[in-house]
Structure 1
Amino acid sequence: MGSVAGDQVLCVLADTLLQKNWMLTTAESCTGGAIAKACTDLAGSSAWFERGFVTYSNEAKQDMLGVPAAILAEYGAVSEAVTAAMATGALLHSRAQVAVSVSGIAGPGGGTITKPVGMVCFGWAAQDGKVRTTTQYFQGDREAVRYQAVQYALQGVLQMLAD
């Protein structure tokens, strides 16, 4: 997927958020703020992008987003349980109406049999209480995994808004 496709998704996302009068917040781990950067690269994004949290450590997930230590201990940072808590926490700690979260293993190291490099968990939450999660397995190097995660995260926000 090239940048043109990514730009189209962002433009549609921006228009949809503006029509709903909603703001977006992000809670990112393995993408390191790349979702927030993609959003704020678009001129006029201050009308629909509220804030971004980069919570790389477990402590940051707990301190900034209120992710319970018990969930981190039971499931690990790379899990749908944690991305659900990250997304809902981002909503609670912002003025946004919709949130996206991501936690994964971008590589090249850090993978295991059960959580291989390229595994990325996503969470989306909306002010109406709707929460969605999913896990994807991306191919490629660290940069490729992170790029695909950003695109997938943004597509997921659009799907949340459409439903």
Structure 2
Amino acid sequence: MNEPIQAVDLVARLKERRATVATAESLTGGRLAARMSEAPGSSEIFLGGAVTYATEAKVKVLGVAQEVVDEHGVVSAECARAMAEGARRLLGSTYGVSTTGVAGPDTQEGKPVGTVFVGVAGPNGTDVVPLALDGDRESITNESVAAAVEALVAALEGRPEE
């Protein structure tokens, strides 16, 4: 992974493009929203976020289709896509960024600890970045936040995620 993007740089990049962002989180439990709001000036670009830890919250708050949950589970690219699109729609932002996955200590939906999906929905469509992370719960969560920020920057710059 590259050098982490500093919050102040992210705010500057979003302001430069007159873009706003909303978050939809599961395994990161609000850490992504905290990252988005930590720099001065973030109130101009960060509209808010939803921590939808429970499956029912993903469906009720973000509008993730029950069919997506039933067919693919919440630890899936399809769910990350729907969450990012739901955050964008819910808050009327330029971009929606989502995190869903397994931080541990146990597997979920038969998927191993460290399986993470980051979604970024924007004016040019929605991309999902699959991750296979190692480490404990805290390091997986922190790496997921960093990957979500990097995915947002990639979308802002119009470059495909690696």
TM above 0.5: yes
Tell me how far apart the structure 1 counterparts of residues 101 and 130 of structure 2 sit (CA, whole Å).
9
Paired AA for residue 57 in structure 1: A
3-state SS, counterpart of residue 91 of structure 2: coil
Paired AA for residue 98 in structure 2: S
Tell me how far apart the structure 1 counterparts of residues 53 and 14 of structure 2 sit (CA, whole Å).
27
Tell me how far apart the structure 2 counterparts of residues 48 and 129 of structure 1 sit (CA, whole Å).
18
Query: Which residue, out of 57, 65, 69, partners 2:54?
Result: 57
Tell me how far apart the structure 1 counterparts of residues 6 and 152 of structure 2 sit (CA, whole Å).
10
Q: Detail structure 1 runs of 4+ shifted over 3 Å in the superposition.
A: none
Paired AA for residue 11 in structure 1: V
Paired AA for residue 111 in structure 2: K
Paired AA for residue 22 in structure 1: A
Identity %: 34
Paired AA for residue 120 in structure 1: V
Q: Does 1:121 align with 2:126?
A: no
Which residue is equivalent to 1:149? 144
Paired AA for residue 134 in structure 2: Q
Contact 1:27/1:99 (<8 A) preserved: yes
Which residue is equivalent to 1:10? 7
Query: Which residue, out of 79, 84, 90, partners 1:82?
Result: 79
3-state SS, counterpart of residue 143 of structure 2: helix
Tell me how far apart the structure 1 counterparts of residues 108 and 134 of structure 2 sit (CA, whole Å).
13
Larger helix proportion of the pair: 1
Which residue is equivalent to 1:135? 130
Which residue is equivalent to 1:21? 18
Gaps of 5+ in 1: none
Q: How does 1:102-121 map to 2 (within 5 A)?
A: 102-111=99-108, 115-121=111-117
Q: TM-score, normalised by structure 1?
A: 0.91
Q: CA RMSD in A?
A: 1.4
